[in-house]
Amino acid sequence: MFFLDDIVIIIGLSAVVLYLCHRLDLPAIVGYLLTGLLTGPYGFKLVGNLEAVTMLAEIGVVALLFTIGLEFSFRNLVQLRRTALLGGTLQVLLTLLIAAAISHGLGRPAGQSIFIGFLTALSSTAIVMKLLQDRAEVETPHGGSALGILIYQDLIVVPMMLLLPFLAGGIEGSSNDLLVLLAKEIGVILALVVSAKWVVPWTLLQVTRTGSRELFLLTIVMIGLAVAWLTHVAGLSLAVGAFLAGLVISESEYSHQAMGNIIPFRDIFASFFFVSIGMLLDLRFLAEHPGYVFLLAAGIMLVKSLAAATAVLFVGLPIRVATLAGLCLGQIGEFSFILAEAGRKYGLLSQEINQEFLAYSVLTMMATPFLFRIAHPVSEFVVRLPLPGRLKRGSLPTAGGKRAHVKDHLIIVGFGIYGQNIARAAREAKIPYAALDMNADLVREYRLKDEPIHYGDATHEAILQHVNIRQARILVVVISDAAATRRITDLARSLNDRLYIVVRTRFIQEIGPLMDTGANEVISEEFETSVEIFSRILSRYLLPEEEIHRFVEDIRSDGYAMFRNLSKHATSCPHLGACLPDMDLRSVRVREESALAGKTIAGAELGKTFGVTVLAVRREGDIISIPPADLALEPEDILFIVGPPGKIMELETVLRGERS
């Protein structure tokens, strides 16, 4: 119960602080860090079980890195290899050398100075990727560059840990340790590639065939934890393992469904990570040395940003991308705290230096959201400077850019008969569309046919975001689950208030609730079939089209209440032959090979030669009713004609160019 008290205090105070931050237009991460300051051992000491909070914080980092891996793929990672290897190496070396040189110049031993360089070189994957995700910039050129460097930093932590005994002057380390570690990492990577290619997709296919959401969620968590554990055994961090686990699942077509299931857990546990960071700061130390700590934090952010920007420029990306990436990476990272704790055991950090490190590290983390806000204006300012064109353009194309999404498109939720028919009509009309369905076999079948269909539960925001709901024009929901239909409608409306939402429902009593949640049109399956059948019956009796439409609209607008608005004075005729004997009404197309193409209606003498009358002409989607005699017939025109069936057939052969 004691630990439960701590959780209630943290979550309750976080809610209050986040509300205040929202009113003051401050980033959420700042709110979490402030919550840590207030509840921690250097604040009001409201939380006693700090070890449990730290454990939850580690889970938060794992969940965050797992979702980042889900958004990426091995293909994206391969594209980032130049940025990760070349850019990451250069960024770490530049930052390490500058920080170590300054520290050594202040009179500290060489080993301790290099160790401080280690601490300074690392940036916060958790904070940077959370902010990039919130701003939808993970897949932008600067987002990809930042991620590549962050991945390199997370991997380089392990060799840094192995070097600590040497820096402290000990002999515990061995050069063989690095070789063993390298061999383990190669083995893990090979196992992950095999899993991503064959094992995980097959496993998830079998799970999704069961239709059990609980089993799917448990399987995703099991895969994530298993891969994280495997990489941890190989000597890598749990966070890196979680990222690789996300990468493995991202290779399957179920990654976005996994994202929708994991996001709520990620947000809760990630909040504990940021709160735990805030708990580390000793406000008394900050109060005693405010100018020194703030100046040190500003200097570190400047050095780190310049080093990262230089590294990205060296890779060959434009200066605008380099500036944005540099401002992203100016803070101290969460793995620096792990290194600092290990360094204290080897005597590389005294208590005073450690508290100094904690103070400026937390300040750099708190400043990061504000750097993100000014990043784009600063980058635009840099681009306007009189710099060489090569720097502005870069020597490489901006690979890793944001994934192209269709805009102004149609989204179809449910790909049964109704959804397939809608997709077929959209395809014929050249309307861009994307479909969602929870039937794994059906999705797999139609993806092989190049259908733009995705596996996913549309009640999750991540799934709708994946099909770019914010840029869509129309959403059509044609599933049989009434409760899920209401949730999808409500969620879609909250994500895009301009969206036109059409919903199919089986029961008439669902019309009201669906309209209340944001649907523009609700089609009731119970009555729509009857309306369609009866309207076709009326058309066969040649009831005027206007009266049929008015009749149908009256029924729909009245909630399909009754079939009672048909005019009692309407005239009817069972078929055209009964009213106009020996006559027929047809549409015929003018082909380019026809002898009549280019002639006017009068010049073609259709009435004199064939005994037919042209009622209307359809040209490129426009209808020309009662066409004038001097209207020239053009290829691909569609003529609506009335006349004897035999004569119409003769005219068709001429219009097809089969005879003159």
Share of the chain above pLDDT 70, in %: 86
Q: pLDDT: is 537 or 568 the higher one? A: 537
Place of tokens 């959780």: 7
570 pLDDT band, cuts 50/70/90, is very low
CA torsion sign for 228, 229, 232, 233 is: negative
Most confident of 105-114, 304-313, 419-428: 304-313
Quote the pLDDT of residue 400.
39
* pLDDT over 60 (residue 418): yes
Quote the pLDDT of residue 47.
87
Amino acid at 229: W
Of the options 3.10.129.10, 1.20.1530.20, 1.10.15.40, 1.10.274.10, the CATH number for the domain spanning 2-384:
1.20.1530.20
What does the pLDDT average to over 455-459?
87
Quote the pLDDT of residue 402.
38
564 pLDDT band, cuts 50/70/90, is very low
From 118-132, 364-378, 618-632, the region with the lowest mean pLDDT:
618-632
Between strands 584-589 and 521-524, the pairing is unpaired
Q: What is the three-class DSSP state of 339?
A: helix
* pLDDT over 80 (residue 593): yes
CA-to-CA dists, residue 279 to 35, 38, 130, 360, angstroms: 8, 8, 20, 14
CATH superfamily of 576-655: Regulator of K+ conductance, C-terminal domain (3.30.70.1450)
* pLDDT over 90 (residue 607): no
DSSP H or E run through 434: strand 433-437
Rounded Cα distance, 282 and 154, in Å: 27
* pLDDT over 90 (residue 115): yes
Comparing C-alpha atoms, which of 5, 70, 48 is closest to residue 460? 70
Packing angle of the helix pair 175-194, 213-233 (nearest 10 deg): 160
CATH superfamily of 410-519: NAD(P)-binding Rossmann-like Domain (3.40.50.720)
Amino acid at 7: I
DSSP H or E run through 622: strand 622-625
Per-residue pLDDT tens over the stretch 35-55: 998 998 888 888 878 888 888
* pLDDT over 90 (residue 404): no
What does the pLDDT average to over 266-289?
84
Share of the chain above pLDDT 90, in %: 25
Quote the pLDDT of residue 433.
94
* pLDDT over 60 (residue 575): no
Tokens of 129: 């990727």
CA-to-CA dists, residue 635 to 258, 315, 589, 602, 649, angstroms: 53, 56, 8, 17, 18
Quote the pLDDT of residue 396.
60
In the chain, what are the domain boundaries?
2-384, 410-519, 576-655
What does the pLDDT average to over 210-224?
88
Place of tokens 């600063």: 378
Q: Which residues contact 60 (CB under 8 A, 6 or more apart)?
A: 126, 266, 268, 269, 270, 271, 272, 273, 274
Comparing C-alpha atoms, which of 364, 215, 383, 216 is closest to residue 313? 383
Quote the pLDDT of residue 650.
85
Most confident of 170-184, 190-204, 251-265, 324-338: 324-338
What does the pLDDT average to over 530-555?
67
Most confident of 312-316, 546-550, 649-653: 312-316
* pLDDT over 70 (residue 571): no
Q: pLDDT: is 75 or 513 the higher one? A: 513
From 270-284, 539-553, 639-653, the region with the lowest mean pLDDT:
539-553
Per-residue pLDDT tens over the stretch 154-205: 878 867 877 887 887 754 445 566 677 667 777 877 887 788 778 888 898 8
Rounded Cα distance, 178 and 182, in Å: 6
Instruction: Determine the Cα angle at 505 with ends 503 and 506, to 5°.
Output: 165
DSSP H or E run through 523: strand 521-524
Rounded Cα distance, 424 and 416, in Å: 12
574 pLDDT band, cuts 50/70/90, is very low
From 1-5, 176-180, 416-420, 574-578, the region with the lowest mean pLDDT:
574-578
493 pLDDT band, cuts 50/70/90, is very high
From 16-20, 306-310, 360-364, 617-621, the region with the lowest mean pLDDT:
617-621
Instruction: Determine the Cα angle at 131 with ends 313 and 188, to 5°.
Output: 75
Amino acid at 291: G
Quote the pLDDT of residue 120.
96
Comparing C-alpha atoms, which of 96, 105, 6, 94 is closest to residue 50? 6
Quote the pLDDT of residue 273.
81
Q: What is the three-class DSSP state of 625?
A: strand
Amino acid at 20: L
Between strands 453-455 and 622-625, the pairing is unpaired
What does the pLDDT average to over 321-347?
88
Rounded Cα distance, 243 and 148, in Å: 12
538 pLDDT band, cuts 50/70/90, is low
Q: SS3 helix, strand, coil % of the chain, rounded to 5?
A: 65, 10, 25
96 CB-side CA count, 13 A: 18
Between strands 521-524 and 453-455, the pairing is unpaired
* pLDDT over 90 (residue 621): no
Q: pLDDT: is 242 or 578 the higher one? A: 242
What is the rounded average pLDDT for all residues in the chain?
82
Rounded Cα distance, 369 and 623, in Å: 57
Quote the pLDDT of residue 429.
84
Quote the pLDDT of residue 114.
94
Rounded Cα distance, 300 and 99, in Å: 8
Quote the pLDDT of residue 171.
45
E strand segments, 423-499: 433-437, 453-455, 474-477
Per-residue pLDDT tens over the stretch 7-33: 899 999 999 998 998 888 787 888 888
358 pLDDT band, cuts 50/70/90, is confident
Quote the pLDDT of residue 556.
60
